[in-house]
Each structure stands twice: as C-alpha cells, then as structure tokens.
Amino acid sequence: MKSLGNIRRSFTPWADPQSKPYISFKNVTKKFGDFTAVDDLTLNIYHREFFALLGASGCGKSTLLRMLAGFERPTSGEIILDGQDIAGIPPYKRPVNMMFQSYALFPHMTVERNIAFGLRQDGMPKAQISERVAQMLKLVKLEQFAQRKPQQLSGGQRQRVALARSLAKRPKVLLLDEPLGALDKKLREETQFELMDLQQQLGLTFVVVTHDQEEAMTMADRIAVMSHGKVVQVATPAEIYEAPNSRFVADFIGDVNILEGKVKSADNGRVEIASDDFTVRTLSDARQSAGSSAAFAIRPEKLRISRTAPADPSVNASQGEIWDIGYLGDMTVLHVRLPSGKVVKTSMLNAQREVENPIGYDEKVWVSFAETAGVVLRD
C-alpha cells in the first residue's frame, strides 16, 4: 500500500482559522440527576480527522460519544454535525455509526447479515447490498467467514465484523468506543495501524474513545484529554506529550517528573525557578511573577545521567545517587535519589547505554537537562 505519511503530516485543519469544523460541541452539558457527566464543553472536530477522546473512566468521554451517536441528549448546548444541529435527531436518523465496545454483534445473524443489517434497513437494492457486503468483508479480510455466526469467531474477528458493520453504511462520522479494549496487546498494536490506514483510505472522520493513552497517541491526529466532564487539553499527540498544559495532562500521559519551586526571575519568556535540588532555567510564555510558586515538568527520557559534571553544574543540574534500576529490554529505567530525598525517574535507551561499564546501584551521578527539555505547568 502507498505510504500515507505525507497526507498525515500535512493534515492540520485545526491550525487554519479558515477551515470550518465538521463537528462542533457548543457549551454542551449533560447531567444525570445530580451528576454532571459533561460540563459546559466546547470542542471542534474537523473533517477527515482521527480524533481521540482520552480520559479515565467516568470522565465523560463515553457520554460525549453517546451524545454524538444520539443515545443521550444534551441537557443544554448544541451539537453541530456538518452544519446541522443534531441534538434532537434520534440515533436511527443520524448519519453517524458507532462501533460498540462490546461489539454488539447480533448473535442470531451470520457475519454477512450483521454487516448487511443497516443496508437492509435502508432498503438498499439486494444486488447492491451483496456487493457492499463483499467489499466490506474484503476490507476487514473476513471473506471466508461470511456464513459464520458471531459466537464462532475469535475476539479479533468479531472486532473486524463490528468495524465492517459500522462502516457499511458509509457514515459521515465513525464513532469507536474503546475499539481495541477487548483485544490482546499484540493484536491491539497491529489493529491500531490498520484502523489508521482504513481511516485514510476511506477519508472518514473517526472519533475514538479510549482510556489507553498509547492507543490515542498512536492513532489520533488530535487528542482531547478529559477530566470531570471537561476538556483539559486538545492538541496533537506530540504537543500533549511535549507541552502538557497542566499537571493533570502531564501526569496522565506518560511518565513525568514534576519539580516544584518558586519563580526567581521571569522576563522575555525566560524563567528561572528555584526548586529543592535544581535551579531550573527554561523557556516559558506563561506570565510568571517572581516569588510565585511554579511547577516544572520534565519527561524521564529528557533527563541526562552522567558520571561527570555537566559544563555548568549550577543550572539545570543536580547530583544524586542511583536508587533503582529497571531493565526493560529496549531501555533502562533509572530512579535517582536527589539530595532533598526526592526520587526522579529517568530512562535511557539501551542503544546509548554503556555496555562495558554500566551505571550501577548506589553510584553517584549527575542529573542534568537542556533548557528546552521540559515545560512550566500553568496551574
């Protein structure tokens, strides 16, 4: 298959103020009794985007998806799809289809009938239905399983049937609720890439709900990190990882070390923070005033470990001792105990690790990082 990398790299409609969002949540609130599942949420999703809603269970991501599908109605606010307010349209009249977490395959129908279900419901001519079903079976590579019943399929095959069924009607938007949740790790990784290819091939808008950050990072063009019914940050996977806007996002996505301290000086986008073990000098566009408390987030792989002191040991550097070593095959995780007693997590690729004389337990080391290696958190 032709590489889709180029299309993907140049796809950034959210950065273009001229482009019109395809799906818009405008001040959407959903309450279940006293519980607010979605809280005054505003969010734009663009045509052909692979969009992920990421968050812990109970953060409102599934409710948001179910509102898009039509199973829940917003308590207040508008949901616009392709220029039309869909809040009052029942699920069976919406041009969106959903792939359910449980797959929800009809147990009394064969694979073929499952896929044809939506088409038959629409009264499509028979010849056209069988053509479309054959096409879908081919797409998910299940041609020889057409006559099977769902209970005679493996988990991975069922997932494909569910996918084929939700794609058969060529929806404007495909909603995926934890699409890979029930698969084992290996299959999940393969399927992630298949889903991405499929989405590009078909040119559809995908909205996926997941609690698995790796899944979201791999597949999505943009991720909305949600917490307590609100979107905390919407950005590309790289931005979310490299420049989390809050402690919550930094903590939720990947591993992070957070250094707390007081702002010593701030001018022209340069900030100096005094924390227990480090004097942090970094870049920040957030307005910080001297004396206010600040938190600096840095990823484990951005911390350098060395036996010799860095060029300027007074800034962005501290001594420490190796506290714990975890060997993960492709990389090694080192926990370093700093003079204040704080333990920071660092990781290094084993390709870069000294094989002859690796850093060992209790060894005194220097921990240092570059000015651009981390971010100052906003809250």
Partner 1 sequence: MTKLGSAIFRRLVIIVPYAWLLFFFLIPFVIVFRISLSTTAIAQPPYVPVFSLADGLAGTMEKIRQLSFDNFTWLAEDALYYTAYLSSLKIATVSTLLTLLIAYPIAYGMAQAPRTLRPTLLMLVILPFWTSFLIRVYSWIAILKPEGLLNQFLLAIGVIHEPLIILNTNWAIYIGIVYSYLPFMVLPIYSALEKMDHSLIEAAQDLGCPPITAFWKVTFPLSVPGVIAGCMLVFIPAVGEFVIPDLLGGSQTLMIGKTLWTEFNSNRDWPVSAAVATVLLLILVVPIVFFQNIQAKADEQGK
Number of residues that bind partner 1 (CB under 8 A): 29
Name the one range near partner 1 by CB under 8 A: 110-118, 191-199, 231-239, 241-249: 110-118
Contact present, 25 and 85 (Cβ < 8 Å): no
Residue 363: HSE in the Cβ half-sphere, 13 Å Cα cutoff: 14
Nearer to partner 1, 69 or 133 (CB): 69
Name the one range near partner 1 by CB under 8 A: 165-173, 190-198, 277-285, 305-313: 165-173
Shortest distance in whole angstroms from residue 204 CB to partner 1: 15
Cα 130 to Cα 112: distance, rounded to the nearest angstrom? 9
- 316 burial level (CB within 10 Å; 0-12, 13-18, 19+): buried
Cα 120 to Cα 117: distance, rounded to the nearest angstrom? 5
Shortest distance in whole angstroms from residue 168 CB to partner 1: 8
- Which residues from 135-154 bind partner 1, rule CB under 8 A? 148-149, 152
Name the one range near partner 1 by CB under 8 A: 12-20, 63-71, 227-235, 345-353: 63-71
Instruction: Rule CB under 8 A: choose which of 132, 158, 165, 299 binds partner 1.
Output: 165
Nearer to partner 1, 106 or 193 (CB): 106
Pairing of β 222-227 and β 50-54: parallel
Cα–Cα–Cα angle for 201, 202, 203, rounded to 5 degrees: 95
Nearer to partner 1, 90 or 326 (CB): 90
Cα 25 to Cα 77: distance, rounded to the nearest angstrom? 8
Shortest distance in whole angstroms from residue 173 CB to partner 1: 12
Torsions phi, psi for 286 (to 5 deg): -70, 140
Shortest distance in whole angstroms from residue 115 CB to partner 1: 10
Binding mask 65-84 for partner 1 (x = CB under 8 A): ----xxx-------------
Instruction: Rule CB under 8 A: choose which of 39, 40, 100, 211 binds partner 1.
Output: 100
Instruction: Rule CB under 8 A: choose which of 3, 92, 285, 329 binds partner 1.
Output: 92
Nearer to partner 1, 167 or 295 (CB): 167
Nearer to partner 1, 104 or 331 (CB): 104
Residue 104 binds partner 1, judged by CB under 8 A:
yes
- Which residues from 113-132 bind partner 1, rule CB under 8 A? 117-118, 121-122
Instruction: Give the interface with partner 1 as residue ranges (CB under 8 A).
Output: 69-71, 90-93, 96-98, 100-102, 104-108, 110, 117-118, 121-122, 148-149, 152, 165-166, 169
